[in-house]
Amino acid sequence: MGGRFAVLVAAAVSTAVAFAGVLLVRAEQGAGAPEALQATDVQVGTASSSQLGPLEDPPDPSSLPALGLQFHGTWTHYDASERDEVLDRIERSGARWVRLDVGWAMLQPRPGALDEDWAVPLLDEVMDQLRERDLKVLVMFWLTPTWASSEPDEFTAQYTSPDDPADYAAALGRVAQRWGDVVDAYEVWNEPNLEVFYHGTDPETYADLLCATYPVVRREDPDARVVFGGLMYNDDDWLQRAYDAGAGGCFDVMSVHSYQAPADAPPSVVDDGEVWNLRNLDEVRDTMVENGDRLPVWITEFGWSVHGNDSETEPWRRGVDEPTQARYAAEALTLLAMEFPYVNAAFWYKDAINDESTDLHQEGYAMLDEERRPREVWHVFRDLYGVSR
């Protein structure tokens, strides 16, 4: 492994964005939510390298889960040249996947045809940029257009399951039909167990959406995989309720968002049985096996945010320093390789700092800074995955 890896991880073990032309305001996904953690008896502070233990030998890159990056390529803070720059950095990081979030409300703001004036040309351009690179693509498809929901509030409607799941299935089927040569997998919604992103967090409604979508996507893009919408944390109880509602047989890959909470906790912390612990992955796996599933698991979001803390910082918004972010990333991927072999892919949240955002916690997760320059975690990925210089 490279010298930078040895230096950086020698101490580690084992919001709103408006889319132009579309009434679509959305919170940035990822990084937890206030209702997820109500702990009050934990010390607040910024983790530092001095708190970490000794590192064992780095694993063989082939033993690690495939590395992915959340790529906000459809967001309007990027122009084409900036997207190229970000994708080049992603490709050179050792990542082999990108997770591209695509808004249904953006793509089909009215019933019937897709928006050929703006949304389709934008997505065509992004897909062309992805087509040019040796990267696999996971499309995460979400955000209900107002016409597909009886919810009267336009903002709330986006985060509400459509009245007819067949409308969503048909829309994603059109995505698969048009861009299936680029896309390798399709994730059905984002964090459906989290109220802020899926109002009601109803597993029965989600199972209906998933099972309506599965055959349509498989028909339009038979070689692609359908991915269960990434659950916030390793929420095995919600997953069991989804199985009870009939979700079994309607997906090819299970997906979770394995953030730690408190958000500055290391990935190796002992499992206390809570869903916000990385090691609680085994509870997710046990739930799958108990329901007859031995499908692979992907972590479609994980990460640590770089920023300082004070006495008012809530546990779920805690930050770490940049060297600790890099160490924790290496530790998490090493831990997955050693103890969770059923996890085939892990997607770091996220690509680059959005200089239009004022949310320091959300932006602190980025692998690239506001000038799209690599942060320390990018170098760790390169060394951990054996990317030649």
In a domain? residue 342: yes
Report how many domains make up the chain. Answer: 1
User: Beta 17-18 vs 25-26: how paired, if at all?
Assistant: antiparallel
Residue 309's domain spans which residues?
3-384
pLDDT of residue 31: 54
User: Mind listing the pLDDT tens digit for each residue in 26-55?
Assistant: 334 555 544 443 433 333 334 433 333 334
pLDDT of residue 55: 41
In a domain? residue 259: yes
pLDDT of residue 24: 33
From the CB of residue 227, how many other CB atoms can be counted at a distance below 10 Å? 26
**Which distant-in-sequence residues (6+ apart) come within 8 Å of 269 by Cβ?**
260, 277, 278, 279
Q: Which tokens in the block code for residue 292?
A: 């007859």
In a domain? residue 51: yes
pLDDT of residue 238: 97
262: preceding bond cis by omega (within 30 degrees):
yes
User: How far apart are alpha carbons 208 and 129 in whole angstroms?
Assistant: 34
pLDDT of residue 25: 33
User: Mind listing the pLDDT tens digit for each residue in 319-364?
Assistant: 999 999 999 999 999 999 999 999 999 999 999 999 899 999 999 9
pTM: 0.87
User: Mind listing the pLDDT tens digit for each residue in 243-279?
Assistant: 999 999 999 999 999 999 999 999 988 877 888 889 9
User: How far apart are alpha carbons 66 and 333 in whole angstroms?
Assistant: 9
Q: Which tokens in the block code for residue 256?
A: 């979770």
In a domain? residue 389: no
Q: Which tokens in the block code for residue 305?
A: 């945010």
Q: Which tokens in the block code for residue 206?
A: 């989600």
Domain CATH code at residue 205: 3.20.20.80
Rounded mean pLDDT for each run of 10 residues along the chain, 389 residues in total: 34 31 38 43 36 54 96 94 97 97 97 96 97 96 98 94 98 98 98 95 97 98 98 96 98 97 91 85 97 97 96 93 97 96 98 93 96 96 82
